[in-house]
Chains A and B, each alone.
Chain A
């Protein structure tokens, strides 16, 4: 646990990428494979499942610290992070653990599963007593399942690449899909032999960068393949050795969630991998994203929901054909092969992502403007000659989203953020006018600069009208332009309207609260948008 806590501290203490990689290299050089495997597991975003409820952790920590529950809650609000709050309220022990990380994870953390309260409590309190402050903090992070340290999988692969000499692309691929963090896995991960295979393993997704510049800076429009940017679930459909695997971009195996897609996948020839987007689809057009949300997370998919919300896979790319990795071929060739493959199948749930004609940028710009009406978020620009890369890289793939919808709304409630934003009022609720009162319309957390956040924070403190737990009602005075991607009717929201991805586009210091938008104007916006949407 010592070495792991040291690594965590080293990663946490610096914002420099090279320093983080150096800390990882140093760790991997001395850690036993059984520990290293867990570190790869955690740092690549695979979070330990939370086995102890937050309420119990709080109660036990308060008892161990000898403070009442209300004082623990006050402390927790000040810290904004449960793992850290527990660490700070517990008395210092003067002890430290020589036991390896794998012991702490396998013999303690995982053993908590299914144990009753008394056993869990015993393990937690004993653990807190054995660990020093740094170790206790990372232990609590593992327990609360909120393990983030500003070291991405990309940094891990860089460090492992530097240490083992295995190319980063190979490492990323080996880290895809399902694997167990065993010493054997770690040895295979960093083995020089690259002929390994796991039939379910997906390829790392290639992601596009947002386009902020004028597309004309990208050269001629005809060097680009333009597609709609759909708002669904990015997924990879794989058929190998007579079995079908559907993976989400979050590298979750979606087995059984979308049976209609897996059925279609079963018709693909062995050795096929298709990159695409899961979309709720009816009569040749996508349904609103909210419909897809009805299917997400549902483990048992009944007949009714299958009929209500039919799903298709809009295929973007062909990554593997006849067991051969096609990723280095130019996109034009991959797309030709994909087209031919889909044509060879009976019409079904696999649909080729249509190409938007791109004779010149003006045509593309016009298509982008029309995207929202088609249920798309904008357009994708992919260089005709581009290979299928790894991760989010600039240059060959761009997403060019439609300008967002905007509404001017008034700040009415504020609550402190967590993590980096702990103790600052950063989470806001905004209202719009309905007659002479403000009705809550949307919540937004992002879009302000640090300096603006500090100003709003100071405003909230000086203009609090009421407190409800951590939430404060503030004097309705500040106006913000909220930007969002979509707008829909909703029976679950007080305003009767739900918006998608709201964020603060601008602080309208030039506007008074009375000048913010009204519910009527927002309803007009809703009508104008849904008028264009076929759904």
Chain B
């Protein structure tokens, strides 16, 4: 059904690519993060709820077709359905049916709750293509309530000490999930430009978020004391972040589960909040598909494949354009797997 080509995963029966790495004729896009949505293809298919953010991420005038979750789309001799992946607003798993065989490509996904996007939906299939960003048993997310209570107490303590809280998280997805969990009673919420743009698209998509102020506005310096500033990771230690004077820096990412990752960045606080599935979630998700064959991509492919094989599944690792492992946490530019 699917083959891995130099442009990415290709379905011959339907003549389309899923999240291609290079411009192609027809691309089915699981979600709008940069390593899944590449510019220049002739036609795109994505979920209705993801249309706004994808349009903002692709070149102006890109030809994008939108489908509701569960809606049937016929491509060549295949039938496609998009199902929610719970990763970010509009993120989808791609279900492909052809000649009685069903494949599901997960894209990036999480099974934990997130008020800013439609929850992950398990889909039965014969072959499941899963991500494995956090595919090791050290990654078991603490409850969302606990993480947000830590974030809010940190913010409250900083505010009481007259400090600004700078909270880093990817501009699309993570930032909005953070906004949704903040206790807006503590103080004003400021945003970096990249975050503000994506946040307004979320609001347009009907997601309710607390009021935010663009930190680039002329009077933001005066406002920042006691405020929390939501910014993408690359804003850390940049000239941009200096405007906040005395501030404490936190970072919300699954990588923060490990102390070394936090210390590498000399952060004040790390919060283990991820939009990817953790180890127990990954195993449960695979099991729920009922798939006998699993393709593992992006992340700890080796250990996940071995684990699945030892449990009698037909599993294999497939390459991605971006090396998984820990490369992400060391990148200084915008990277969606943070």
Residues of A in contact with B (beta carbons under 8 Å apart):
12-15, 65, 67-68, 70-71, 74-75, 78-81, 84-85, 88-89, 92, 418-424, 450-451, 454, 457-458, 461-462
Contacts and interface: CB of A to CB of B under 8 A. Distances in A.
Nearest to A78: B136
B263 interface: yes
A12 B259 contact: yes
B136 A75 contact: yes
B260 A74 contact: no
Interface of B: 136-140, 257-261, 263-264, 266, 268-269, 300, 302-303, 306-307, 310, 323, 325-327, 329-332
Contact of B303 (A15, A71, A424, A458): A71
B329 A423 contact: yes
A324 B98 CA distance: 93
Contacts of A461: 323, 325, 327
The 7 A-B residue pairs with the shortest CB-CB distance, nearest first, are A422-B260, A88-B138, A423-B326, A420-B263, A454-B330, A74-B303, A75-B138
Nearest to B269: A13
Contacts of A74: 136, 300, 302-303
Contact of A88 (B257, B307, B323): B257
21 contacts: A13-B268, A13-B269, A15-B266, A70-B306, A71-B136, A71-B306, A74-B303, A75-B136, A78-B138, A78-B258, A79-B138, A81-B260, A84-B260, A85-B138, A88-B139, A89-B138, A418-B260, A423-B258, A423-B325, A457-B330, A462-B323
B330 A458 contact: yes
A14 B268 contact: yes
Which of A68, A75, A85 has its CB near the most chain B CB atoms (within 10 A)?
A75
B274 to A, nearest CB: 14
Given A419-B260, A421-B260, A462-B323, 13 more contacts: A71-B136, A74-B136, A78-B136, A78-B138, A78-B300, A78-B326, A79-B260, A80-B260, A84-B259, A88-B138, A88-B257, A423-B326, A450-B264
Contacts of A419: 260, 263
B334 to A, nearest CB: 15
Q: What does DSSP make chain A's interface, helix, strand, loop or mixed? A: helix
A524 B331 CA distance: 42
Contacts of A420: 260, 263-264
A88 B258 contact: yes
A498 B134 CA distance: 41
Question: By CB atoms of chain B within 10 A, which of A65, A68, A70, A422 has the most?
Answer: A422
Contacts of A80: 258, 260
B258 A424 contact: no
A118 to B, nearest CB: 26
A422 B306 CA distance: 23
A17 to B, nearest CB: 14
Contacts of A421: 260, 264
Contacts of B264: 420-421, 424, 450
B137 to A, nearest CB: 5
A205 B293 CA distance: 65
B270 to A, nearest CB: 9
A71 B137 contact: yes
Nearest to A417: B260
A81 B259 CA distance: 9
A71 B257 CA distance: 18
A457 B325 CA distance: 12
Nearest to A85: B138
A68 B310 contact: yes
Nearest to B329: A423
Contacts of A68: 310
A386 to B, nearest CB: 35
A456 B137 CA distance: 28
A89 B257 CA distance: 11
A146 to B, nearest CB: 12
B137 A89 contact: yes
Contact of A422 (B258, B300, B307, B332): B258
Q: Which of A65, A74, A419, A461 has the most CB of B within 10 A?
A: A74
Nearest to A416: B326
B304 to A, nearest CB: 10
Given A81-B259, A462-B323, A424 B330 contact: yes
Nearest to B331: A454
Q: Which of B139, B260, B330 has the most CB of A within 10 A?
A: B260
A14 B260 CA distance: 14
B177 to A, nearest CB: 22
Contacts of A85: 138
B258 A79 contact: yes
A71 B266 contact: no
A531 B137 CA distance: 57
A53 B181 CA distance: 44
Nearest to A92: B140
A450 B263 CA distance: 11
Contact of B137 (A75, A422, A457): A75
